[in-house]
Amino acid sequence: MTTWLVTFVLTLLIEVVVAYPLLGLEVRSRRARLLAIVVANVLTHPVVFTVASVLVPRSLWCVPVLEVGATVVEALVYMRLLSIDGSRPRLPAIFASCFANAASFVGCYVFWST
């Protein structure tokens, strides 16, 4: 549980730092951006962490698959929660999700490798 919590907090910190300004290209509400990032991570992180904990020792191929899945789900959450007047900020949501997930993956890898 401690490993999960540390990894979750680290992931959330990194993804807020990366995704928050990128989502700001389309959405001005600070609260909405922060909420979307937290909700996206609450939905994806437990699944990715649990599945990776079970499968990674046996097969490393699951890591990219899990990360792509998390990226897609988080982009969809951003699009859904940050829609403005019926429009959806697709491109900023996709960029924010891609960059945030890449940064958090690298950050957590470096943190746990040292």
12-70 confidence digits (pLDDT tens) = 999 999 999 999 877 788 999 999 999 999 999 999 999 988 887 777 788 889 999 99
Question: Which backbone phi and psi does 29 adopt, to 5 degrees?
Answer: -70, 115
Domain ranges of the chain: 2-113
The residue among 47, 19, 48 whose CA lies nearest residue 32 is 19
Alpha carbon 42 to its chain's center: 9
Query: Does the pTM exceed 0.85?
Result: yes
Classify burial at 114, counting beta carbons within 10 Å of its beta carbon; exposed 0-12, middle 13-18, buried 19 or more.
exposed
Q: Is the pLDDT of residue 99 over 90?
A: yes
Residue 48 CA to residue 51 CA, distance in Å, equals 5
